[in-house]
Amino acid sequence: MYIRTATIEDLDAIAQVEAECFPSAEAATAAEFKGRLEHYADHFWLMFDGDLLIAFVDGFVTDQRDLTDDMYEKAEMHDENGDWQMIFGVNTIPEYRRSGYAGELIKRAIEDAKNQGRKGVVLTCKDRLVHYYAKFGFENEGVSDKSTHGGVTWNQMRLTF
């Protein structure tokens, strides 16, 4: 297993993993990932088993404190000098789950954000994953009124350095 950041060459593999992990109402499309990779490929953390992409974490950087739904589509909002590393997606393909891979990627994203001088990391998640992200130091700020995509209730969680 090894971790690296992305290039545009990873587009198809990333879209495939996303489609395996999320229902279509919540999944980002290949077109959205293309925009994201063009603007912030260095803020994708990919884990491979040989040539196979098995998990990834991604999200851009911004001075905005709160995660809003428009961020998912508007990759051009990425600000390389921003304060907050957002996390838009955490995915592990089903056959590789419960082995700590997503956890390793989350820890790497946190470490990189710290080394880059950010203020912290922000994500949204469903109720059932609040305890999972709390293990990495994220604090639940409650239900987000700024993110409703997929018709789901999202909790905003923040790790401040």
Q: Which stretch binds ligand COA (CB under 6 A): 6-14, 32-40, 62-70, 93-101?
A: 93-101
Q: What is the DSSP letter of 156?
A: E
Closest distance to ligand COA from the beta carbon of 81 (Å): 27
Q: How many helices (H) and strands (E) does the chain have?
A: 5, 9
Closest distance to ligand COA from the beta carbon of 11 (Å): 19
The binder of ligand COA chosen from 62, 92, 155, 156 (CB under 6 A): 92
The string of DSSP letters for 56-124 reads EEE--EES-SS--THHHH-GGG--TT-SEEEE-EEEE-GGG-SSSHHHHHHHHHHHHHHHTT-SEEEEE
79 vs 136, beta carbon nearer ligand COA = 136
19 vs 79, beta carbon nearer ligand COA = 19
Give CA–CA dist 149/155, Å, rounded.
Answer: 12
46: three-class secondary structure by DSSP: strand
29 vs 81, beta carbon nearer ligand COA = 29
The answer to whether 144 contacts ligand COA (rule: CB under 6 A) is: no
Closest distance to ligand COA from the beta carbon of 103 (Å): 3
Give CA–CA dist 158/120, Å, rounded.
Answer: 7
The binder of ligand COA chosen from 125, 147, 156, 159 (CB under 6 A): 125
Applying CB under 6 A, the residues found at the interface with ligand COA are 21-22, 55, 90-92, 97-103, 125-126, 129, 132
